[in-house]
């Protein structure tokens, strides 16, 4: 099918885009990479009267390190995240995550901001955004608003961005010393979305005790979540296989897991526990071998 007719706008600045958002009324959509919106337009699941293409806004394509944070403009493509020398030097883990998204065609066009605003429960970034304690910067006519990752994913395809706002950038704190990171997923063979995806970021002491751990889970629920119950059981302890196995049993705590045409709820729960365990074991293997992420500068 062809989309219903709409007026196309391509602003050159964030200010111009915000002006369009506020003057065109409620029947308007923002276009980032288009991998979710364009199919919906073609199926006429959405029929906006106005489409605002953000591709012409250079300020939304920033990739930089500022004040011990990796700053990614919302229109940074998955391929740019994967291949950027800045990202590779500051947080190579995120390059690896971006390289697991879909296929080259999707990575060349899709954007990190579009993915986070769409908040697909099977997308790859959300688990890592949670585990990395990132911040989303939203801009509107009233100024800037910062939303912490823990508050961003609010439900199925629902993010904490308000009407007439634009996600401008994602700020990711650089990691402390002696931090290892892993993202593992069971990918759907056709879409390559995550049936389950787990991000595990662990900081260890010199004697290999867990000083801090953050675990993000995507794919099995209506939105990405932190595995808080697992984290609480690991901090302060040496992470051997026995402790990881025991803690991973709590991976589904706080998750609302429903079955689908591929897996029952029980299957998803088992996959969730298994991938949390595998991600933690791999992260600890990296830590024990000294394969740590780059560190932030001392204040």
Residue 298: predicted pLDDT: 52
Alpha helices in the chain (DSSP H): 14-23, 37-42, 78-83, 85-90, 92-99, 104-109, 112-118, 125-131, 149-152, 228-234, 241-248, 265-288
Distance CA 277, CA 223 (A): 20
Residue 67: predicted pLDDT: 94
Instruction: Count the Cβ atoms, other than its own, within 10 Å of residue 288.
Output: 12
User: What is the CA 126 to chain-centroid distance, rounded?
Assistant: 3
Domain 179-288 top-level CATH class: alpha beta
Strands 69-73 and 50-53: unpaired
Residue 297: predicted pLDDT: 72
Instruction: Give the mean pLDDT per block of 10 residues along the chain (299 residues).
Output: 93 97 92 94 95 98 97 98 98 98 96 97 97 98 96 97 96 98 96 96 96 97 97 97 98 92 94 98 97 81
Residue 138: predicted pLDDT: 98
CATH topology of domain 7-55: 3.30.43
Q: What does residue 243 show for φ and ψ, rounded to 5 degrees? A: -65, -40
Residue 63: predicted pLDDT: 98
Residue 100: predicted pLDDT: 97
Domain ranges of the chain: 7-55, 58-173, 179-288
CATH topology of domain 58-173: 3.30.465
DSSP 78-103: HHHHHH-HHHHHH-HHHHHHHHTSS-
Find the distance separating the first CA and the last CA of the chain, reported in whole Å: 56
Residue 1: predicted pLDDT: 75
Q: Do domains 7-55 and 58-173 have the same CATH topology?
A: no
């Amino acid at each position: 099918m062809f989309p219903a007719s709409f007026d196309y706008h391509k602003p050159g600045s964030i200010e111009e885009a915000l002006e369009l958002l506020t003057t065109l009324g409620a029947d308007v959509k923002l276009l980032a990479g288009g991998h979710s919106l364009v199919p919906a337009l073609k199926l006429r699941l959405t029929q906006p009267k106005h489409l605002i293409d953000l591709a012409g806004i250079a300020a939304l394509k920033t990739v930089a390190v500022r004040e011990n944070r990796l700053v990614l403009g919302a229109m940074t493509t998955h391929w740019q995240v994967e291949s950027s020398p800045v990202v590779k030097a500051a947080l190579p883990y995120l390059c690896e995550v971006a390289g697991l998204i879909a296929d080259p065609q999707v990575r060349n066009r899709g954007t990190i901001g579009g993915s986070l605003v769409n908040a697909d429960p099977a997308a790859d970034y959300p688990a890592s955004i949670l585990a990395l304690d990132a911040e989303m910067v939203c801009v509107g006519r009233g100024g800037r608003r910062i939303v912490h990752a823990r508050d961003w994913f609010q439900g199925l395809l629902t993010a904490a961005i308000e009407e007439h706002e634009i996600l401008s950038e994602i700020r990711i704190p650089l990691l402390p010393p002696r931090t290892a990171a892993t993202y593992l997923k069971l990918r759907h063979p056709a879409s390559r979305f995550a049936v389950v995806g787990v991000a595990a970021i662990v900081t260890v002491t010199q004697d290999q005790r867990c000083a801090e751990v953050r675990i993000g889970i995507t794919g099995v629920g209506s939105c990405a979540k932190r595995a808080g119950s697992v984290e609480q059981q690991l901090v302060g302890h040496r992470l051997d296989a026995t402790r990881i196995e025991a803690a991973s049993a709590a991976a589904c705590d706080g998750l609302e897991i429903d079955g689908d045409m591929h897996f029952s709820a029980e299957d998803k729960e088992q996959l969730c526990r298994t991938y949390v365990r595998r991600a933690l074991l791999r992260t600890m293997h990296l830590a024990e071998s000294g394969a740590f992420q780059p560190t932030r500068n001392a204040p």
